[in-house]
Amino acid sequence: MPKTFRILIWLAVAILGALALATVALHRGEQINAMWLVVAAICTYAVGYRFYSKFIAAKVLVLEAQRATPAERLENGRDFVPTNKWVVFGHHFAAIAGPGPLVGPVLAAQFGYLPGTLWILAGAVFGGCVQDFVILLFSVRRDGKSLTEMAREEVGRLGGLVAYVAVISIIVILLGVCALVVVNALKASPWGTFTIAMTIPIALLMGVYLRTLRPGKVLETSALGFILVMLAIFGGQWVSQNPSVASWFTFSGPALAILIIIYGFAASALPVWLLLAPRDYLSTFVKLGTIALLALGIVALRPVLHMPPLTRFIDGSGPVFAGNVFPFAFVTIACGAISGFHSLISSGTTPKLIRRETEARMVGYGAMMAESMVAIMAMIAACVLQPGIYFAINSPAGIVGQAPEAAAATISNWGFPITAAEMHSLAQSVGEQTLYNRTGGAPAFAVGMAHIFSNSLGGQALMAIWYHFAIMFEALFILTVLDAGTRAGRFMLQDALAHVWKPLGRTSWYPSILATSALIVGAWGYFLWQGVKDPLGGINSLWPLFGISNQLLATVALCVATTIIIKMGKARYVAVTLVPLIWLVAVTFTASWHKIFDPNPRIGFLSHAAQLLSSPGANVRLIFNDRLDAFVTGTLIVMIALILIESAVEWVRVLSGRKQARVKESPFVATRFVTEEQG
């Protein structure tokens, strides 16, 4: 293609993107079509990938097509396998796409669609995609080493320790919050609870089928599992319509929390093939299909966004969670913009599959763009709802009141008209008794998704089926994160405890399995219990805590990346990772300060504890929870401050010439693939 033509095409893409972004950002007073968000996102990603990631690949990382990757050098047919780049892309995307990009944008929609959308786009192009790309490449150049190992080798011993603590903390907080989202979606919902309960025997059946009848036929087994899950959704409708059966599956929040804690413990202790692996396959199958379906639904329906670009809640008085748009919009949306958790995947399986170094750009940068697009779709799903409906679903009873009329009146007074009759009718159309106070984001996302799906396929008659399909999708997805996370956390704990007493590190020794499983489940179970007992719905306290811990892990990853870039002698390009690092430090440190010390009891843990203490009949447990949350946040911040200082000292020593800049890369070995291609 002639160069002039290429320039004109990219100019057109850039102008279209700018036009779409201007429409998204500057439109006031009128509703806009969701396609503007889609076009703005696609053009932004296209320009970011074509120019920014190419710049990073060529100038900063200097990708070497001739350098053999660990997949080639250490090929063993097991962990290290040279794999086609599109296959690795799919594998990496399936590994990084979790419930975060679905829930975070839905919660942040309380500020309007604008802050979240801009953060998702800018955060991904300049932060998240860069982090995933550079960490993937650095891991590839170090034989697939993990983030913790790279932190220890390149930054220092403290860096390794902080990375370890950050990882285990984020796992515990993540699991507690995820479980809370499921509890809030399933409480008093026999249909949803039945469907999700059925996924357990379905997974067991899949495990046995896969092991005994059709060994290794995972896709076939997953497709069968999917059919059974769809039947369970229809079965759930029958259950919900039969009061005597429905009562067996109608649970309060605390009862569901106990059931999920028992499930988490069982999943951690049972053999992987029996429950964990089949559920994982089933969840991935549903996840990939549903994300594709949602994208098609949005394009087919081209819905109008009813949520305004900015709401009054940017002042920090939001009912979904309290806190100003800065910094809280930026910690609420972590996955989809920048997620520290991705650095674990980028330094886990993926670097061992990359066939050519140059392919790290498409896999690392590209897959994160795809995840960011999922976050944009979640934002659209939340914003196609009437704002009154959105706030009725997402606001806790402690803010809007228990009675439907009182809640509708409070929300209408905020300027988002809604009536109790409308909410009742909506609840009936989706097969629920009520949709009030369903905090956590999942039910609002499910209603938005059902709205998009039912308007594209099946009409209002299928609204309830689509709603419960969406709830099943989210809950299955989240419970998979929960069981895999519990087990991964258990292994990490066993690795650490082995330094204290060797037998504790034996992953096949049942006393150790039971003790460490109990410790991990107990830790996230405590956060879950705290959430279900919180009069403000739990999300107000716990989701920001999760966002902070996730982005603190991103801070660790960017510290490691910045250190390596300086040691590579590329200090003039250090802004590529240093700017997102500075931004994340500003966001997370400010958010942490507010969460600990803010005088507003809805924001600050300590002021909330003080308020409880001064009220008659103070609840000692709630006060303890607030102080514990403040302690956890403070500890994480101190640890990250330490790794920042350690990194900065290393940068100064290298830049001032007091320390020789030497990166700990594997030696260069020429790839055979170039010769093969040339031959």
Partner 1 sequence: MKRSITRAATLLASALREIFDESAYARFLDRRKLTSSREAYAAFCREYEAAKARRPRCC
| Residues contributing to the site for partner 1 (CB under 8 A) | 77-79, 81, 83-84, 86-91, 94-100, 170-171, 174, 178, 210-212, 215-219, 222, 271-273, 276-277, 280-281, 284-285, 288, 334-335, 339, 341-342, 344-345, 348-349, 480-481, 484-485, 487-489, 491, 507, 546, 550
Of 212, 336, 301, nearest to 34 (Cα)? 301
Structure token pair of residue 239: 């259950």
Residue 419: CB minimum distance to partner 1, A? 36
Residue 308: CB minimum distance to partner 1, A? 29
Between 335 and 444, CB nearer to partner 1: 335
Residue 82: CB minimum distance to partner 1, A? 11
One-letter amino acid identity for 299? Answer: V
How long is the chain?
Answer: 679
Please state, in angstroms and as integers, the Cα–Cα distance from residue 276 to each residue in 96, 180, 471, following that order.
18, 20, 20
Residue 122 parent element (H or E):
helix 113-123
One-letter amino acid identity for 70? Answer: P
Between 287 and 594, CB nearer to partner 1: 287
CA angle 212, 214, 220 (to 5 degrees): 135
Using CB atoms within 10 Å of the CB of residue 674, give its burial: 0 to 12 exposed, 13 to 18 middle, 19+ buried: middle
Residue 94: CB minimum distance to partner 1, A? 5
Between 490 and 567, CB nearer to partner 1: 490
Residue 395: CB minimum distance to partner 1, A? 24
Cα 339 to chain center, whole Å? Answer: 7
Between 156 and 538, CB nearer to partner 1: 538
Of 479, 449, 284, nearest to 379 (Cα)? 449
Query: Hey, how many other C-beta atoms are within 10 angstroms of the C-beta on 216?
Result: 9
Dist. CA 84–CA 625, nearest whole Å: 49
**Phi-psi domain of 216 (left: phi exceeds 0; alpha: psi -120 through 50; beta: other):** left
Between 456 and 480, CB nearer to partner 1: 480
Residue 570 three-state SS: coil
Structure token pair of residue 49: 């990938």
Asked if 389 contacts 421 with a C-beta cutoff of 8 angstroms, the reply is no
Residue 78: CB minimum distance to partner 1, A? 7
The angle that helices 620-655 and 510-533 make with each other, rounded to 10 degrees, is 110
CA angle 641, 642, 645 (to 5 degrees): 85
Residue 66 three-state SS: coil
Residue 271 three-state SS: coil
Between 9 and 219, CB nearer to partner 1: 219
Residue 167: CB minimum distance to partner 1, A? 8
Between 98 and 443, CB nearer to partner 1: 98
Between 189 and 221, CB nearer to partner 1: 221
Backbone angles phi, psi at 41, to 5 degrees: -65, -50
Dist. CA 588–CA 81, nearest whole Å: 38
Between 27 and 211, CB nearer to partner 1: 211
Torsion of CA 460, 465, 466, 468, to 10 degrees: 140
Structure token pair of residue 623: 């006060």
Output the 3-class SS for 78-99.
Answer: CCCCCECHHHHHHHHHHHHCCC
Output the 3-class SS for 354-400.
Answer: ECEHHHHHHHHHHHHHHHHHHHHHHHHHHHCCCHHHHHHHHCCHHHH
Residue 98: CB minimum distance to partner 1, A? 4
Between 182 and 408, CB nearer to partner 1: 182
Residue 310: CB minimum distance to partner 1, A? 27
Between 274 and 641, CB nearer to partner 1: 274
DSSP 173: H
Between 508 and 678, CB nearer to partner 1: 508
Output the 3-class SS for 123-160.
Answer: HHHHHHHHHHHHHHHHHHCCCCCCHHHHHHHHHCHHHH
Structure token pair of residue 468: 């419960």
Between 24 and 353, CB nearer to partner 1: 353
Residue 488: CB minimum distance to partner 1, A? 4
Residue 502: CB minimum distance to partner 1, A? 18
Residue 68 three-state SS: strand
Residue 333 parent element (H or E):
none
Between 211 and 659, CB nearer to partner 1: 211
Residue 192: CB minimum distance to partner 1, A? 21
Between 117 and 346, CB nearer to partner 1: 346
Residue 506: CB minimum distance to partner 1, A? 12
Residue 495: CB minimum distance to partner 1, A? 9
CA angle 493, 497, 502 (to 5 degrees): 130
Residue 345: CB minimum distance to partner 1, A? 6
